[in-house]
Chains A and B, each alone.
Chain A
Amino acid sequence: MGATTQLHVVTGKGGTGKTTVAAALAIALADEGQRVLLCEVEGRQGIAQLFDVPPLPYEERRIASGLGGGQVHALAIDPEAALLEYLDMYYHLGRAGKLLDRFGVVDFATTIAPGVRDVLLTGKAYEAARRKEKGRFVYDAVVMDAPPTGRITRFLNVNAEVAGLARVGPVRKQADAIMDMLHSDSSRVHLVTVLEEMPVQETLDGVAELRGAGLPVGHVLVNLVRPALLSEASQQLLATDGVEQAVADALEPSGVDGAHAPALVEEGHAHVARQRLQDAQHELLDDGDVPVHDLPWLHEGVDLGALFELAQSLRDGKVV
């Protein structure tokens, strides 16, 4: 446990399992005994669905315990609530906050005023990461289930976002403080991908964009990696003439009807094709000058047990 709270930002293309990986990362940290805040910012209630609990309010609550005695708290960051909390914290507004709400200012500031929404969302994570009680940080780590790869750099680059708009004032100051944290050694942006063409391309573009903006890239986390089930020798055999008949004969002692052989061979070819595609995409990532860690594909789907399995894989891979 370092002297400062670590911030792990998890992004990824839609459908790659960004929320699942963020949750697994939080559990991995809790397994090491850390106190972790897992937060989401897109109003999807993905964490609640994953952990099978009722929708999360704007309040930090414990949702899991790590094997090493750590704990995972979860929070769904809501920009409107964050704005009112922020105003109250810095201006002790109380009733004036309600007035802002009544005049539609809160709605305006959180939905339409560009950049302000993102400052509020990252700002809340910043506040949690800097919060102290009795002289020590409340959380050892904050894990953020962040917007998708295509929007991540803009989302994190709050400083640039508000630069053209808020040139002075507290929002600007807040943005500067957030940028300092994001650019520091205690922050990491991880990119989740699957081994398909478009997500991999987006990931590589995302890495370049993040680096261009001076944001620290952590790991590329490859999700749903399918194991190769056919050995090299079997693959060669599969490509020979008369393989259907040979497999039909070989099936005899297994009790499976030899008539299934052509279909099984067809499935074998499809498997090889998929593995080749996977390998080719993996090579592209390996050439990307970023540490890459593979997460196994779990054919039972994702439940709480699966999250702990993925967490173990993240610890084994020294991602945390």
Chain B
Amino acid sequence: MPGRPRTTPTRTTTPHYRGVTGPSADALDVDALLADRGTQIIVCCGSGGVGKTTTSAALALRAAEQGRRVCVLTIDPARRLAQSMGLTELDNVPRPVAGVEGPGRLDAMMLDMKRTFDEVVEAHASADKARQILANPFYQALSSSFAGTQEYMAMEKLGQLHSEAVGHDDGWDLIVVDTPPSRSALDFLDAPERLSSLLDGRFIRLLLAPAKGPARLFGAGFGVITSMMNKLLGAQVLTDVQTFVAAFDTLFGGFRQRSEQTYALLQDPRTAFVVVAAPEASAMREASYFVERLAADRMPLAGLVVNRVSGTAVDDLGADEAAAASRRLSGGDATSTLAAELLCVHAERALVREREERLVRRFGASHPTVPSARVAALATDVHDLDGLRVVGDLLAGRA
């Protein structure tokens, strides 16, 4: 775009803020987690816009550069971050990431949910039946737009990658998964169950019934229902659904079984959940729900990562004090004005920091056993491996 004034790209630098990073009594020890060969799967979850993808990629890169053989499954990475990891094509297969330093290796992939669904169908149905299913309009809509399909397929892909990894001597020894930007952070835990129970559900059973046996067993109600559905949606819809269900029937068992396996895999002690949040009320609230839900489902939680934490370079200068000092300098020369403005910059930071501290402290008070790591806000977006290394250092408290 010629003619537009361009901002000089600023180098991503490590902020040296005290109090934001560094291990403390309840700090999440990221390096120990990554070094532990018993950690085979790391799932990063949290509400939308908190930096899950960046956290996943940074953890994966750090693990690889410390000697692990890592595969990272991302859902919807920022374009430039994806490019920096070589994720330029969406072919649903992990590709090696160039530029990884050290003894390990890193493969990365971006989830293509429709393709994953198609592959499941192709792998588990006869060629003929698979063709029938893939061409069905109901299947096409389901595989590309059902609200839970992305979550379901992320878990499906995780299961696939994991079984691929165990089958090879030099296969991946760590899989890092990013979770879809759900409307609520809990969606991906529920989606597999929801999809499989719907595919296996009462209504679909009923639709299958005419093909399988006497529909009258269900009583007169069913006739009313089908005619109602036909009236509402048009007869074609039910016919499409029926065709789909009939073709899909043989796959039902497989779906349920794999959904149960994935769920068991998530409960396995080799899995570690990392809940990602930002220091904002709504994101911290979601993180709370998520931590509680993981506990209720007996899923192993490694800890909480709070991204984009504001820091100050001067801890013992409070917001009010800085603002008052700034006022005392007004009306001076250029240097004096600079000093006054710098104090304003500091006052703003200190104020935000105090608010965020309150939020994080409140979370800590209600979840005292959950270790946490805080990642300082960076001045610029992360879109290359160097940026990811900086985030990795911050995650590990080694910045």
Contacts and interface: CB of A to CB of B under 8 A. Distances in A.
Contacts of A96: 224, 228
B181 A299 contact: no
Interface stretch (B21-29, B137-145, B166-174, B262-270): B137-145
Contacts of A150: 76, 181
Nearest to B382: A197
Nearest to A268: B342
Interface in B206-237: 206, 221-222, 224-225, 228-234, 236-237
Nearest to A230: B341
Contact of A233 (B4, B240, B334, B340): B334
Contacts of A44: 183-184
Interface stretch (A1-9, A111-119, A210-218): A111-119
B28 to A, nearest CB: 22
A160 to B, nearest CB: 11
B129 interface: no
A1 to B, nearest CB: 33
A96 B224 CA distance: 8
Interface residues of B, number: 92
A243 B342 CA distance: 12
A287 B6 CA distance: 13
Interface string B39-79: 00000000111100000000000000000000000001011
Contact of B80 (A116, A197, A251): A197
A42 B79 CA distance: 27
B335 A246 contact: yes
A54 interface: no
Highest count of chain B CB atoms <10 Å: which of A165, A196, A279: A165
Nearest to A280: B7
Contacts of A277: 7, 10, 379-381
A104 interface: yes
Contacts of B181: 14, 148, 150
B336 interface: yes
B342 A265 contact: yes
Interface string B314-340: 100100011001101100101111111
Interface stretch (A26-34, A67-75, A123-131, A167-175): A167-175
Contacts of B313: 263-264, 266-267
B281 interface: yes
Contacts of B342: 230, 234, 247, 264-265, 267-268
Contact of A108 (B203, B228, B336): B203
Interface string B334-355: 1111111111111011011001
Nearest to B11: A273
A317 interface: no
Interface stretch (B84-92, B96-104, B194-202, B250-258): B194-202
Chain B contact residues, majority secondary structure: helix
Interface string A168-204: 1111100000000000000000000000111101000
Contacts of A43: 183-184
Contacts of A271: 345
A250 B201 contact: no
Contacts of A249: 335
B224 A99 contact: yes
Nearest to A14: B48
Contacts of B145: 114-115, 154, 161
* Most chain A CB inside 10 Å of its own CB: which residue of B203, B204, B206, B241: B203
Given A103-B221, A229-B348, A266-B16, A165 B138 contact: yes
A148 B335 contact: no
A49 B285 contact: yes
Interface stretch (A56-64, A132-140, A254-262, A308-316): A254-262
Contacts of A113: 233, 237, 241
A87 B224 CA distance: 14
Contacts of A266: 15-16, 313
A233 B48 CA distance: 39
Contacts of B283: 15
A161 B325 CA distance: 60
B141 A114 contact: yes
Given A103-B221, A171-B233, A283-B5, A250 B329 contact: yes
A265 B203 CA distance: 66
Contacts of B236: 165-168
B234 A273 contact: no
Interface string A278-290: 0110010001000
What are the 4 closest A-B residue pairs judged by CB atoms, nearest first?
A15-B49, A14-B48, A114-B141, A263-B313
Interface of A: 13-16, 42-44, 46, 49, 87, 96, 99-100, 102-105, 107-109, 111-117, 147-148, 150, 154, 161, 164-172, 196-199, 201, 229-231, 233-234, 237-238, 243, 246-247, 249-251, 253-256, 260, 263-268, 270-271, 273-274, 276-277, 279-280, 283, 287, 299-302
Given A105-B203, A237-B338, A254-B329, 19 more contacts: A15-B49, A103-B206, A107-B201, A111-B148, A114-B145, A117-B147, A147-B183, A165-B237, A166-B232, A196-B381, A234-B334, A247-B342, A255-B328, A263-B314, A273-B379, A276-B7, A283-B5, A299-B352, A301-B281
8 contacts: A44-B183, A198-B79, A234-B334, A243-B338, A256-B317, A256-B322, A260-B317, A277-B10
Interface of B: 1, 4-8, 10, 15-16, 47-50, 76, 78-80, 137-138, 140-142, 145-148, 181, 183-184, 194-195, 198-199, 201-204, 206, 221-222, 224-225, 228-234, 236-237, 240-241, 278, 280-283, 285, 312-314, 317, 321-322, 325-326, 328-329, 332, 334-346, 348-349, 351-352, 355, 379-381, 383
